[in-house]
């Protein structure tokens, strides 16, 4: 049976506002799971899974295990770039979010999808790999490098097109992926993306040589995620 997922496109939204909204949905699911433990199967409360898409104003976020040394500019320079900075509670190191980038936040009870966290991340990657295939691009995984990459087998040419960093507790997820579509890649120059100093960053626009309709890409990503995770979004 296919799971159902509540889909929302939040448009451009401040990172902190989106983070707080995620936390609210996350806490609701965790609370329901806690209550269901004490209820017989016929009386259990239905869990609502959510998928949020959005774009953020310029912002750098640092995962809980990341190093601030990977942010290469100070507070004054951040202000000059009209960018903000947050330390957050996901895995991974530092990344950038900005206009022209699809940020996806699945707030899923992954037990309902029959996967563990490693499989969940693999399925997020697979959704983006399948999306890239629609544009005749071969997305790949990189050993010891979460996310989706291009040309991993060519020395010095590996470049990331989608970053992934998640938080999971009691098999409930939040945070997610950042897929560069028409992203201003200049902003990646001010960090060591995901902690790497020897890997590049790219975008769909750069790879195909033309600006892309981001709403079209959102539709494809949503469709591919539905296929990979076996859900219906509404």
Domains of the chain: residue spans and CATH = 3-233 (3.30.930.10)
Helices (H), 94-165: 117-133
Distance separating alpha carbons of residues 172 and 125, to the nearest angstrom: 18
All residues at 6 or more sequence positions from 47 whose CB lies less than 8 Å from its CB, including other chains: 29, 32, 33, 36, 109, 112
Kindly state the DSSP code that residue 154 receives in the 8-state scheme. S
Respond yes or no: is residue 54 known to be catalytic.
no
Mean pLDDT of the chain: 94
Kindly state the DSSP code that residue 37 receives in the 8-state scheme. T
pLDDT (tens digit, 9 = 90+) per residue, 102-132? 999 999 999 999 999 999 999 999 999 999 9
Q: How confident is the model at residue 195 (pLDDT cuts 50, 70, 90)?
A: low
Catalytic one among 52, 158, 194, 214? 194
Distance separating alpha carbons of residues 50 and 100, to the nearest angstrom: 22
What's the gap between Cα 192 and its chain centre?
18
- The least confident of 58-62, 139-143, 196-200 is 196-200
Cα torsion 8, 11, 16, 20 to 10°: value is -20
Burial 184-195 (b: 16+ CB within 10 A, else e): ebebbebbbbbb
pLDDT (tens digit, 9 = 90+) per residue, 214-224? 999 999 999 99
Is this model's pTM higher than 0.85 or not? Answer: yes
Segment (H or E) for 11: strand 3-12
pLDDT (tens digit, 9 = 90+) per residue, 11-41? 999 999 999 999 999 999 999 999 999 999 8
Distance separating alpha carbons of residues 194 and 90, to the nearest angstrom: 12
């Amino acid at each position: 049976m296919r799971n159902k997922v509540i889909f929302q496109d939040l448009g451009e939204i401040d990172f902190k506002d989106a983070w707080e909204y995620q936390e609210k949905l996350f806490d609701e699911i965790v609370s329901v799971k806690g209550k269901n433990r004490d209820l017989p199967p016929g009386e259990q409360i239905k869990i609502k899974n959510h998928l949020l898409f959005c774009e953020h104003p310029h912002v750098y976020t640092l995962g809980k295990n990341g190093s601030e040394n990977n942010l290469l500019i100070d507070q004054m320079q951040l202000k000059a770039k009209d960018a903000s900075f947050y330390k957050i509670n996901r895995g991974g190191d530092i990344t950038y979010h900005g206009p022209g980038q699809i940020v996806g936040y699945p707030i899923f009870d992954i037990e309902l999808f029959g996967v563990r966290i490693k499989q969940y991340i693999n399925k997020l990657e697979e959704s983006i790999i399948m999306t890239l295939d629609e544009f005749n691009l071969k997305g790949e995984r990189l050993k010891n490098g979460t996310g989706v990459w291009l040309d991993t087998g060519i020395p010095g040419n590996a470049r990331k097109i989608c970053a992934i960093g998640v938080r999971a507790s009691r098999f409930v997820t939040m945070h997610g992926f950042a897929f560069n579509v028409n992203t201003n890649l200049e902003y990646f120059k001010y960090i060591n993306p995901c902690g790497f100093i020897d890997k590049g960053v790219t975008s769909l626009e750069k790879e195909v040589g033309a600006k892309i309709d981001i709403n079209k890409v959102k539709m494809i990503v949503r469709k591919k995620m539905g296929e990979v995770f076996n859900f219906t979004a509404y």
